[in-house]
Amino acid sequence: MTGAPWPASGRFSGRPTVQAEGARPILIAWEQGGNLGHLLRIKAVVELLREQQREAILAVSHVLGNQFAEALAGIPCAKVVVRCAAREGRHHPNAQAASFAGVLSGQGWTDEPWLRNSMQAWVNLCQLTKPAAVVLDYAPVASLAACVLRIPALQISSGFDAPPPTRQGLGRFRSRTGEISVAEAAEVAAVDAAIARVIATLGHQGPAPFLREVLAYPRQLLDCLPQTDPYGARENAVYAPFLSRSSTPAHASWPGEPSDPSRTRAFVYVREPIVAEQLLHALARRKVSTLCFWPGYSGHLPFMKEHGISVHAQPLDLNDVFREASFVVSYGSVGIATRAVLAGIPQIVIPTDIEKGMVAQRLHEQGLGICLKPRRASHGLDKALDQMLGTDVYRERCKAIQLQVQCAQAERTFSKEIHAEMDRLTGQMWSIPMGASS
């Protein structure tokens, strides 16, 4: 094959093998999204593949490889770090983006030398390992490689990185009636042009795919519900939430009298220190028994325990928490929002980026909670808490939706769908070469 060699920084660990026909591995690609949820979901996928006696190779960007080095070492499969597949600090959604194409541009997709090197790295890895299929967990460049090489692919996503191919608008640029904004069209055109030029330099025979074709290529398994999909409910989509659980969750009891079933209980998951302190003080004034998960909490509010507030820096056992919580306050994580809908619990959301804002708006529109604008959260917090505590409207709406969801999802689980998708995908073969033969 012509082009750049496998990057020297790409390194295998475990037992990588070039598979013979009939024994090809499943390549799992993870480029973006630096939170624990992705890692737990990938670990679960590896374990499910092992149940099917399939070999997995996990390929991660160097940024994530460094961030989660210790945790990745505990996943029982071969691994490779792909240095070209992500740039430091570029994996968060761009607040100024009008579309998902704009988010990709922020990650480097309109930087053609970077995109070429990243694409080359994934192409080389695919041609080395000859996977039967690729599982994509927020891995857009790997998805482009799979599309061009025609490798069967499954995208597992909480929704944001799997937009409807022809309607990628974000936030205020997303039309309710289907129009494409000028800003979205410009961002899509810029990414399409970059893809075309990069693919041409790599020696691909045939036309380069448009971004909409790349987005439409993989089969999709959405780790959310129609009610928590950032882009809205989709027809014929496969929704199968993965209810992640930390390997060592903390078992925390609710502050106050545990035998009092009438006591209002709030679960709080926060990341912003200023908002967190104001929120916890507001809950203490209202005598709400509160369990708070605050990553990085330093213990600087020891008096909170006396006021019915228990703050933890380590993940809690969410199964226990959601069985007893009266309502949730969070930053808009799709995973937390989905758990709350499944439990029939109303939410107050203070979103931290455009993705979380889309989730919060969806919940608000369905009457499942209250959305606060981040810059005005301090002014609206007291009013939102009083609304949540002063009426049963949100709780009744959430219980009604909970019954609908339970009926719709009764036979669909994450593990069942993974097994079914692997059976579908590995019945296919990929054979379209890229460039000249090696």
pLDDT at 417 over 50: yes
Does 312 or 28 have the greater pLDDT score?
28
**What letter would DSSP give residue 87?**
-
Whether 11-241+414-425 and 265-408 share one fold: the answer is yes
Residue 281 in tokens: 């003080």
Percentage of residues of the chain with pLDDT beyond 70: 87
Does 9 or 140 have the greater pLDDT score?
140
CA angle in degrees (0–180, nearest 5) for 144-146-152: 140
Please tell me the predicted confidence (pLDDT) of residue 438.
37
Mean pLDDT, the chain, whole residue set: 86
- Angstrom CA distances, 226 to 280, 338, 349, 366, 405, stand at 31, 9, 18, 11, 9
Contacts of 236 (CB under 8 A, 6+ apart): none
Please tell me the predicted confidence (pLDDT) of residue 137.
97
Q: List residues bridging with 137 in a β-sheet.
A: 30
Amino acid at 136: L
Please tell me the predicted confidence (pLDDT) of residue 377.
72
Please tell me the predicted confidence (pLDDT) of residue 408.
86
Please tell me the predicted confidence (pLDDT) of residue 434.
55
CB 88 within 8 A of CB 80: no
Mean of pLDDT values over 141-159? 96
Mean of pLDDT values over 390-413? 92
- Angstrom CA distances, 151 to 53, 121, 217, 269, 434, stand at 20, 15, 10, 39, 12
Q: From the options 3.40.50.10880, 3.10.450.50, 3.40.50.620, 3.40.50.2000, give the CATH code of 11-241+414-425.
A: 3.40.50.2000
Q: Where are the domains of the chain?
A: 11-241+414-425, 265-408
pLDDT category of residue 320 using cuts at 50, 70 and 90: confident
Mean of pLDDT values over 55-72? 93
Please tell me the predicted confidence (pLDDT) of residue 364.
95
pLDDT category of residue 245 using cuts at 50, 70 and 90: low
DSSP H stretches of helix in 52-203: 62-67, 69-73, 100-107, 112-129, 140-149, 182-201
Beta strand 56-61 with 309-312 is unpaired
Residue 295 in tokens: 């990553």
Per-residue model confidence as pLDDT tens digits over 202-230: 988 888 999 999 999 999 999 999 999 99
Per-residue model confidence as pLDDT tens digits over 247-301: 667 778 898 766 666 789 999 998 878 788 889 999 999 999 999 999 888 888 7
Please tell me the predicted confidence (pLDDT) of residue 11.
40
CB 366 within 8 A of CB 227: yes
pLDDT at 348 over 90: yes
Please tell me the predicted confidence (pLDDT) of residue 259.
60
Please tell me the predicted confidence (pLDDT) of residue 256.
77
Please tell me the predicted confidence (pLDDT) of residue 86.
52
Please tell me the predicted confidence (pLDDT) of residue 291.
94
Mean of pLDDT values over 96-123? 93
Q: Which of 195, 49, 193, 233 is nearest to 131 (CA)?
A: 49
The count of residues in the chain is 438
Burial of 391 (0-12, 13-18, 19+ CB in 10 A): exposed
Report residue 261: phi and psi, to 5°: -70, -15
What dotted CATH number matches 265-408?
3.40.50.2000
